[in-house]
Amino acid sequence: MSQDHGAMDSLLHEERRIPPPAPFVEAAHASDPEVWDRAAADPEAYWAEWARELDWFEPWEKVLEWTPPHAKWFVGGKLNVCHNCLDRHLTTPRRNKAALIWEGEPGDVRVMTYYGLQRRVSKFAHVLRRLGVEKGDRVAIYLPMVPEAAIAMLACARIGAIHSVVFGGFSPESLAGRINDAEAKVLITADAGYRRGSAVPLKNNADAAMEHTDSIEHCIVVERDSHVGRELGVRMKPGRDIWYHELMRDIEGGVDCEVMDSEDPLYILYTSGTTGRPKGVVHTTGGYLTQVHATTKWVFDLKEEDRYWCTADVGWVTGHSYIVYGPLAAGATVFMYEGAPDWPHRGRFWHLCEKYGITLFYTAPTAIRAFMRWGEEWPEKYDLSQLRLLGTVGEPINPEAWMWYHQVIGKERCPIVDTWWQTETGGIMITPLPGLTTTTPGTATRAFPGVHATILNDEGEEVDAGYLAITKPWPSMLRTIWGDDERFQAQYWSKWDGIYFPGDGAKRDEDGNIWILGRVDDVLNVAGHRIGTMEVESALVDDERVAEAAVVGKHHELKGQSIAAFVTVKEGVETGTSLADELKAHVVEKIGAIARPELILFTGDLPKTRSGKIMRRLLKDIAEGRAVGDTTTLADPAVVEALKRRYDEGDA
Ligand code: WT7
């Protein structure tokens, strides 16, 4: 089992207990300590109560139909996600409330009320229809963090098209792979996006991707910055490529919401797994919206007057569930920022918190560790007194970072919600409830009411340390892997009978809190983002000079993990720093910058078992500078000794 050693150590002596602050408790949405028991007694009735907070065109006949591993929630119910996120608010005072406040990295600002956002979405939905997009068709979205990303997603939901958002940092090849897998008909991109002062050439990347796809009929291009677009040499292919603003100018009026079945797909989102090919996680309509709505309200204690900021990119599931669908369904004012936290200076996030009066702030441990390193002087320059709750997601948070967040950002006034969930779970699963839970730095505490999480061993017996397991279906669970239901069954449901296997190690403490210890499979978590070791390995061996590659995660101060690659080259190939740099660049080109190996070590041999399986565990020991574990099963133990010696001598 691969584990984060920092987290392991902290388990042994973490004695701090932080009860929710008294003023917070009095006003919190979730205030009944019996709620977990009540939900556990009848989870279906409990989730149905939440579902009734949404607007349904037709009621469901049955809350849950469970034929493991396939679940149907709110069977027979009809609704539309876009209607629930926008239209239904227009008959309330939220009509004129800011739905979206956006700031671009260069400092440009846009504000959209619920009315204004609905109008744009409805018009854009009309545009998509006109271009021939029908219910069930797939639309790929490859955009920077601009309002049009949310508009495009909601417009798809409005007409029942299935969106597949691809993170703007992914390479043309990754984009092409995702377009092809889903056979997307339309691609929505932008001329450029901003990151750390430079322009990301999204349309140029999209062009490169579209050379390897057959399914795209139209490419809609959002003009982020016409000047920069010209500088980047953006070209529009006649007949295929169309400017977003021209389509929006020429279309008249909007369209109504399509009536969707509760189990109609809402989106596909690709995530890394243990094989080289990313999996298209499929989420559906009624259950998904119910859980993201419920968790947004209770975990963030979202109130009408809040200003909520989740710093994730819409390209990840966090952006789907907790920038767009959950918060808008709950009628929040969502703040969205395009750029990097250290541009043009390291106080940018805190300046934004002050400027927009952010009350609820949700970010990743990797960011918190960077803020820590940059020093307290940055947050201290700004007035953070509006903040009332802090959240984290994406990876285990070490207690030191937790305490820093609590003291320096939250001024010991704000509860911290450490939320465990995954692309596959769709919504938050393990989390404190901020008005009820006494937290301990480093643990996500316990399952959200109505969710059933425990820790099992290989035999499926409850243990205090082993694998995290979800023992009952939950509304926002993935329904399948797009086009590959077998993989869905094998990946998540074959370890135990009818129990979901998330792939994380976990441990329970004396208070009954669940500590997430990191992935137990060949999946890395770099800065809160999942990367499959196999994906990086296939990118490496794709270079003709490489014979074999083994990739492992290496503990990293800021990112949680970084990537270390052990590479053997073919006969006659010269190794050295220039080859290492070229290989790193090759991985970036194949997958994207997030997958760049921090370290490449060339070796004559890789440690293998007698049956030929690469022993990544040993490579990980080497990469993390530990004593190397048991080598008795190796075909040739000398390989490891030689590697370790070279590594320790700094030949990396
Ligand atoms: C993996 C899921 C959920 C959105 C972001 C990541 C790790 C996530 C926590 C947490 C410890 C966490 C797990 C999980 N993870 N949240 N609060 N504490 N680990 O989504 O890319 O699907 O990755 O992230 O290892 O399995 P994802």
| Chain segment 193-212, per-residue pLDDT in tens | 998 989 999 999 999 999 99
Q: What is the mean pLDDT of residues 501-510?
A: 96
Residue 406 has pLDDT above 90, yes or no: yes
Residue 8 has pLDDT above 60, yes or no: no
Closest Cα to atom 27, ligand 1: which residue?
422
Closest Cα to atom 23, ligand 1: which residue?
422
At 114-134, the pLDDT tens digits run 999 999 999 999 999 999 999
At 340-393, the pLDDT tens digits run 999 999 999 999 999 999 999 999 999 999 999 999 999 999 999 999 999 999
Residue 7 binned pLDDT confidence (cut-offs 50, 70, 90): very low
531: Cβ below 6 Å to ligand 1?
A: no
Q: CB–CB of 334/99 below 8 Å?
A: yes
Residue 589 has pLDDT above 60, yes or no: yes
The Cα 300–Cα 478 span in angstroms is: 23
Q: What is the mean pLDDT of residues 174-187?
A: 98
Query: Would you state the pLDDT for residue 12?
Result: 54
Residue 6 has pLDDT above 50, yes or no: no
Residue 253 has pLDDT above 70, yes or no: yes
Ligand 1 pocket: which of 8, 491, 525, 531 to mutate (most atoms <8 Å of CB)?
525
Mean residue pLDDT across the chain = 94
Ligand 1 pocket: which of 299, 491, 504 to mutate (most atoms <8 Å of CB)?
504
Query: Would you state the pLDDT for residue 452?
Result: 98
420: Cβ below 6 Å to ligand 1?
A: yes
State what percent of residues in the chain have pLDDT above 70.
Answer: 98
Residue 320 has pLDDT above 60, yes or no: yes
- What would the DSSP string read from start to end of 594-605? GG--SEEEE-S-
Q: Among the atoms of ligand 1, which is closest to the Cα of residue 431? A: 17
Closest Cα to atom 24, ligand 1: which residue?
394
Query: Would you state the pLDDT for residue 3?
Result: 41
Consecutive H or E run containing 140 = strand 138-142
Residue 552 binned pLDDT confidence (cut-offs 50, 70, 90): very high
Q: What is the mean pLDDT of residues 131-159?
A: 98
Higher-pLDDT residue of 475, 641: 475
Query: Would you state the pLDDT for residue 609?
Result: 81
Residue 651 binned pLDDT confidence (cut-offs 50, 70, 90): low
Q: What is the mean pLDDT of residues 614-626?
A: 88
At 438-457, the pLDDT tens digits run 999 999 999 999 999 999 99
Q: Name the residue with tokens 């296939």.
A: 538
Residue 465 has pLDDT above 70, yes or no: yes
Residue 321 contacts by C-beta under 8 Å, 6 or more apart in sequence? Answer: 292, 426, 427, 428, 476
Q: What is the mean pLDDT of residues 567-596?
A: 94
**Beta pairing, strands 529-532 & 546-556:** unpaired
Ligand 1 pocket: which of 395, 431, 520 to mutate (most atoms <8 Å of CB)?
395
Q: Residue 393 Cα, ligand 1 centroid: separation in angstroms?
A: 6
The Cα 144–Cα 329 span in angstroms is: 23
Closest Cα to atom 3, ligand 1: which residue?
422
Q: What is the mean pLDDT of residues 478-493?
A: 97
Residue 2 has pLDDT above 60, yes or no: no
Task: Give the number of C-alpha atoms closer than 13 A to the C-alpha of residue 483, restricted to the C-beta side.
Answer: 13
Can you say whether the dihedral through the CA atoms of 242, 244, 248, 249 is positive or negative? negative
Q: Among the atoms of ligand 1, which is closest to the Cα of residue 430? A: 17
The Cα 422–Cα 432 span in angstroms is: 16
SS3 (DSSP) at 75: strand
Nearest to 283 by CA among 247, 325, 227: 325
Query: Would you state the pLDDT for residue 627?
Result: 81
Query: Would you state the pLDDT for residue 641?
Result: 85
- Helix, strand, coil percentages (3-state) for the chain, rounded to 5, are 35, 25, 40
Q: What is the mean pLDDT of residues 460-486?
A: 98
Higher-pLDDT residue of 558, 612: 558
Distance set, CA 26 to CA 19, 32, 37, 300, 436 (Å):
13, 11, 21, 15, 10
Query: Would you state the pLDDT for residue 9?
Result: 46
318: Cβ below 6 Å to ligand 1?
A: yes
122: Cβ below 6 Å to ligand 1?
A: no
Query: Would you state the pLDDT for residue 13?
Result: 64
Residue 517 has pLDDT above 80, yes or no: yes
Ligand 1 pocket: which of 420, 431, 519 to mutate (most atoms <8 Å of CB)?
420
SS3 (DSSP) at 65: strand
Nearest to 74 by CA among 475, 452, 428, 500: 475
Residue 570 contacts by C-beta under 8 Å, 6 or more apart in sequence? Answer: 544, 545, 546, 547
Assess whether the previous peptide bond of 69 is cis (omega < 30° from 0).
yes
Q: CB–CB of 432/27 below 8 Å?
A: no
Residue 613 has pLDDT above 90, yes or no: no
431: Cβ below 6 Å to ligand 1?
A: no
Residue 334 contacts by C-beta under 8 Å, 6 or more apart in sequence? Answer: 99, 100, 101, 308, 309, 310, 323, 324, 327, 328
Q: What is the mean pLDDT of residues 44-49?
A: 98
Longest CA–CA separation in the chain, Å:
73
Q: Residue 598 Cα, ligand 1 centroid: separation in angstroms?
A: 21
Q: Residue 15 Cα, ligand 1 centroid: separation in angstroms?
A: 24
Query: Would you state the pLDDT for residue 257?
Result: 98
Task: Give the number of C-alpha atoms closer than 13 A to the C-alpha of residue 454, restricted to the C-beta side.
Answer: 11
SS3 (DSSP) at 251: coil
Nearest to 600 by CA among 551, 541, 534: 551
Residue 10 binned pLDDT confidence (cut-offs 50, 70, 90): very low
Q: Name the residue with tokens 């430079």.
A: 198
Consecutive H or E run containing 344 = none
